[in-house]
């Protein structure tokens, strides 16, 4: 090899070595799993958890040191910042497991679920955490998000996650567009029992006051004011908490799309 070819040879060897370096960016392109699951910690007094599908950890929180936080998803929180997690279709044992160092990875809420191809689901830790048995309720509902978005309306549904509350109906109230002295009230689906979800109901875009009512009641069991629904978006309103402790009760608003 002549001297004038040496620089080129050195460069080629360096490039080859760089491609073998352990820090090289890997090509991970490929199709994502077609199904989706969103994870909620709505178990009153439950510790922070990470969520698993079988043995695979689906949600976790990274600390400022680059290691996994021991906080997990706390009560009232949603895994992965409220986003859906991709998952392959199949039969799963979905669990919420303690994130703290004490009882690390102990399952405290478990549901067996069949995840169908291309469908969306939500997993809820719910009810009231039992510190003695280290357990909470849990359930899974399908999120049948409309395939074709309707940009003239918002779609809203109600999920009931309060274990000690009777079946309830969610109502949405908004000022009448033609008469400022009146309001329009719409039932968001029908009555929903604990661990169940209502149907997605179209609502006009606007800012609503929400309330859940027992059959025949004139006073709301749980309420929330000033909730914005945008046309073309899909939302889930979930009742969570201990119905006997007002400070724990709330209506959570999460966008499905």
Domain holding 219: CATH number?
2.60.40.2890
Q: What are phi and psi of 194, to 5 degrees?
A: -55, 140
C-beta neighbour count of 65 within 10 angstroms: 7
Domain boundary (143, 170, 205) is at: 143
In this prediction, residues 54-74 reach a mean pLDDT of: 83
pTM of the predicted protein model: 0.84
Query: Do residues 161 and 255 share a domain?
Result: yes
What count of Cα atoms within 13 Å lies in the side-chain half-sphere of residue 229? 28
pLDDT-derived band at 25 (thresholds 50, 70, 90) equals very low
In this prediction, residue 78 carries a pLDDT of: 95
> For all residues of the chain together, what is the average pLDDT?
88
Q: What is the separation, in whole angstroms, between the first and last Cα of the chain?
A: 62
Whether residue 219 is found in the same domain as residue 237? yes
Report the percentage of the chain scoring pLDDT > 90: 75
Mean pLDDT within 195-224: 96
Instruction: Specify whether the CB–CB gap between 49 and 73 falls below 8 A.
Output: yes
> How far apart, in whole angstroms, are the C-alpha atoms of residue 224 and residue 228?
11
Residue recorded with tokens 């995840």:
115
From 143, 172, 191, give the residue that closes a domain.
143
CATH number at residue 53: 2.60.40
| Same domain (yes/no): 101, 169 | no
Q: Is 11 left (phi over 0), alpha (psi -120 to 50) or beta?
A: alpha
Q: How many domains is the chain partitioned into structurally?
A: 2
CA atoms within 13 A on the CB side of 38: 22
Q: Are residues 55 and 138 in the same domain?
A: yes
Q: Tell me whether residue 198 is in a domain.
A: yes
Q: Is 167 exposed, middle or buried (0-12, 13-18, 19+ CB in 10 A)?
A: middle
Residue 13 has pLDDT above 80, yes or no: no
My answer on whether 178 and 252 are in the same domain is: yes
Q: Which domain holds residue 83?
A: 32-143
Residue 15 pLDDT more than 70?
no
Q: How far from 209 is each of 35, 109, 205, 243, CA to CA, in Å?
A: 33, 32, 13, 19
Higher pLDDT, 26 or 121: 121
Domain end, chosen from 143, 164, 199, is at 143
């Amino acid at each position: 090899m002549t001297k004038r070819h040496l620089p080129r040879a050195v460069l080629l060897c360096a490039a080859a070595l760089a491609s073998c370096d352990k820090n090289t960016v890997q090509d991970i392109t490929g199709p994502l799993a077609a199904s989706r699951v969103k994870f909620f910690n709505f178990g009153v007094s439950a510790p922070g958890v990470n969520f698993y599908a079988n043995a695979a950890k689906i949600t976790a929180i990274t600390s400022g040191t680059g290691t996994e936080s021991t906080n997990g998803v706390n009560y009232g929180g949603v895994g992965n910042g409220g986003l859906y997690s991709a998952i392959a279709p199949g039969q799963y044992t979905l669990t919420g497991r303690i994130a703290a160092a004490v009882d690390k990875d102990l399952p405290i809420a478990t549901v067996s679920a069949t995840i169908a191809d291309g469908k969306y689901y939500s997993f809820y830790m719910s009810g009231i955490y039992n510190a003695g048995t280290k357990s909470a309720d849990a359930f899974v509902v399908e999120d049948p998000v409309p395939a074709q978005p309707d940009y003239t309306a918002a779609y809203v549904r109600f999920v009931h996650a309060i274990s000690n509350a009777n079946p309830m109906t969610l109502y949405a109230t908004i000022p009448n567009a033609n008469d400022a002295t009146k309001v329009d009230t719409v039932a968001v689906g029908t009555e929903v029992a604990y661990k169940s979800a209502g149907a997605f109901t179209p609502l006009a875009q606007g800012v609503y006051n929400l309330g859940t009512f027992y059959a025949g009641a004139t006073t709301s069991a749980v309420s929330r004011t000033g909730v914005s629904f945008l046309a073309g978006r899909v939302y889930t309103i979930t009742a969570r908490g201990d119905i006997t402790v007002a400070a724990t009760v709330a209506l959570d608003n999460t966008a499905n799309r």
